[in-house]
Amino acid sequence: MESILEIKDLGKNFGGFTALSGVNLAIRQGERLGLIGPNGSGKTTLINCISGALRNDHGQIQFKGESISHLPAHTRTKRGIARSFQLPRPFRSMTVAENLMVPLAYVGGVSGSKARKQALEILAEMGLADKADTSSASLSQVELRKMELARAMAAKPQLLISDEAMAGLSGSEVDDVLDILIKLNKSGITIIMIEHIMHAVMRFSERLVCLDAGQIICDGDPQTVVANPQVHRAYLGD
Ligand code: ADP
Ligand code: MG
């Protein structure tokens, strides 16, 4: 199977603190990968290094066979990597549709009525069509999470990284967001999902990776990973 993303011996330090070290990870085209690990284990730092929000200090990141480690975030977005943020960052003064028209213009070069049409199509996929002309500042938590995913989709990614998109949502809202992510994956998008809600992680993931203290401690099929004693000690709490 062809890898869309290949991470080799990745390291990231903050001053004297090692946030990631020796991370090796290959993700195949079309995969649904779950990323778990305790708070502070380096999950967000890893996706920051992949998306370009941070530069890695060691190692290599290849996307579609080309090294991207040296590229700024906006160039990586144009190459096909999009992410949602753990803390949503909407343009609060804009409507929901306008929030999507920013990446549509920037990444796809579409504007005006064409961009609006595409924004409405993406919003419809997220079940947010009726919110298109609502101010993003007035959205509920689940609507905001969906808009974050919609904004990421407006960049037309091949790899989508979701960072705790379900945090703070109710059970049915979690299922709703999960269904959207699975639908996007079935349309051909490779997805990395960081999540703490284990039933969602288990329903979503074809493969599960557990980070602890900046290193991958287990990588494999989800049932095997959650049964692993090291994963239990580090994360699942016994
Ligand atoms: P996770 O997403 O798994 O909770 P993070 O990747 O956010 O973990 O953080 C991993 C570690 O790196 C934590 O100890 C955190 O405090 C530290 N860290 C993250 N970002 C920075 C930063 N910009 N400067 C200094 N330390 C950071
Ligand atoms: Mg995090």
| Domain containing residue 211: CATH number | 3.40.50.300
Quote the DSSP letter at residue 134. Answer: S
pLDDT of the residue at 199:
96
Q: Is residue 130 part of a domain?
A: no
- Of 176, 184, 131, residue with least CA distance to 155: 184
- pLDDT for 218 beyond 70: yes
DSSP state letter for 158? S
pLDDT value, residue 85: 84
Ligand 1: residue whose CA is nearest its atom 19: 45
Model confidence at 37, pLDDT cuts 50, 70, 90, reads: very high
pLDDT for position 65: 97
Q: pTM of the full predicted structure?
A: 0.95
Residue 115 maps to a domain? no
Q: Which domain holds residue 225?
A: 3-87+158-236
The answer, yes or no, to whether residue 8 has pLDDT greater than 60, is: yes
In a domain, 116, yes or no: no
pLDDT at 1 over 70: no
pLDDT at 166: 94
The predicted structure's pLDDT at residue 237: 78
User: What is the number of the ligand closest to the CA of 37?
Assistant: 1
- Strand-pair partners of 66: 63
Is 142 contained in some domain? no
Nearest atom of ligand 1 to the alpha carbon of 37? 3
Residue 112 included in any domain: no
Residue 172 Cα to ligand 1 middle (Å): 30
**216 has pLDDT over 90:** yes
169, part of any domain? yes
- Residue 149, in any domain of the structure: no
Q: Does the pLDDT of residue 158 top 70, yes or no?
A: yes
pLDDT of 47 over the 70 cut:
yes
Both tokens assigned to 189: 């998008």
Across 99-123, b (16+ Cβ under 10 Å) vs e yields bbbbbbeebeebeeeebbebbbebb
Residues 6 or more apart in contact with residue 225 via CB below 8 angstroms: 36, 208, 209, 210, 218, 219, 231
Question: Ligand 2 mean position to 69 CA, how many Å?
Answer: 20
> What is the whole-number distance in angstroms between the Cα of residue 50 and the centre of ligand 2?
14
Contact assessment for residue 30 and residue 54, using Cβ atoms and an 8 Å cutoff: no
Which ligand neighbours the alpha carbon of 215 most closely? Answer: 1
- Indicate the DSSP class of residue 5: E
Summary mean pLDDT of the chain: 95
- Identify the pLDDT of residue 238: 56
Number of structural domains (the chain) is 1
- Spell out which residues line ligand 1, taking CB within 6 angstroms: 14, 19, 37, 39-45
In DSSP notation, 75-119 reads HHHHHTEEEE-SS----TTSBHHHHHHHHHHHHH---HHHHHHHH
Per-residue model confidence as pLDDT tens digits over 164-211: 999 999 999 999 999 999 999 999 999 999 999 999 999 999 999 999
In a domain, 122, yes or no: no
| Nearest alpha carbon, ligand 1 atom 15 | 40
